Homo-oligomer: A and B are copies of this chain.
Amino acid sequence: MNSGIKKVLDRVASGEMSTEEALKILKNEPFDDIGYAKVDLHRQIRQGSSEVIYGEGKTAEQIIGIISSMKKHGQGRVLITRMDAEKAAEVAKEHEITYNEAAKLAYTGDLPEADGIGKIVIATGGTSDIPVAEEAALTAEVLGNEVERLYDVGVAGIHRLFAHKELIMDATVIIAVAGMEGALASVVGGLADCPVIAVPTSVGYGASFKGISALLSMLNSCASGVSVVNIDNGFGAGYMASMINHVK
């Protein structure tokens, strides 16, 4: 944990964080027990960003309570994922949030300045993969990254991808989002010289088995430098890409 504290101090030293903010964080108990949840207040120390609220399976009341706890303890920007429009409307009555319905994602406050090493490029195989891609894109933006969207460049018309080869070559990290046979990840992985995070989506029917086909495809990619997150896990990909884009 010391290294975490050291990071907080480094941020204070470099002016990234005010003494007040640091004080609040360092004085925190490691978590706040609010009965149905033990809100992790040291995650910012441990991992450099506040806890993220996974909205599915939580009631609007529970989400509101967790945001309140986080705010009370000086946790910065709060990210809420997998929250449907109805719950979002409930939450918006108590807390000011920006909500993206396609991505089912909300956050409090403004988007931060991008402070990563380079650019994150997010490519999708088709139009139907966009909601997952947007979850990744917004997550990355909330975490301080410049994001470039490159949608509907699947391998059925591979010239659409090749027309953007420069973009692929200039990326620091690429997120490849695709359903059906998920071949996009391999093709992008074969072209790029940066890490590729592959996100299988549940887009497809029949033997796509709600994303299993794309998932297996991506895990077996013959291209090197490709790793995979869970089906439809745009958040996970955005978070991982941000970590890579902030490596030091």
Contact = CB atoms under 8 A, between A and B. Distances in A.
Contact of A230 (B3, B192, B207): B207
B38 A157 contact: yes
Contacts of A191: 46, 158
Residues of A in contact with B, size category: 35 or more
Interface string A183-196: 10011011111110
Chain A facing B: main interface SS = mixed
A175 to B, nearest CB: 10
A139 to B, nearest CB: 9
A156 B227 contact: no
A84 interface: no
A223 interface: yes
Interface string A18-41: 000000000000110001111010
B243 A225 contact: yes
A190 B220 contact: no
Find the residue from A47, A82, A163, A169 having the highest chain B CB count within 10 A.
A47
Interface in A210-224: 210-224
A208 B213 contact: no
A166 interface: yes
Interface stretch (A70-78, A88-96, A125-133): A125-133
A197 B210 CA distance: 24
26 contacts: A3-B170, A30-B163, A31-B163, A35-B151, A38-B152, A47-B192, A47-B224, A48-B193, A57-B128, A156-B221, A157-B190, A158-B191, A172-B248, A173-B247, A181-B186, A181-B222, A195-B247, A206-B215, A206-B233, A208-B220, A213-B216, A213-B220, A215-B219, A217-B217, A225-B240, A227-B240
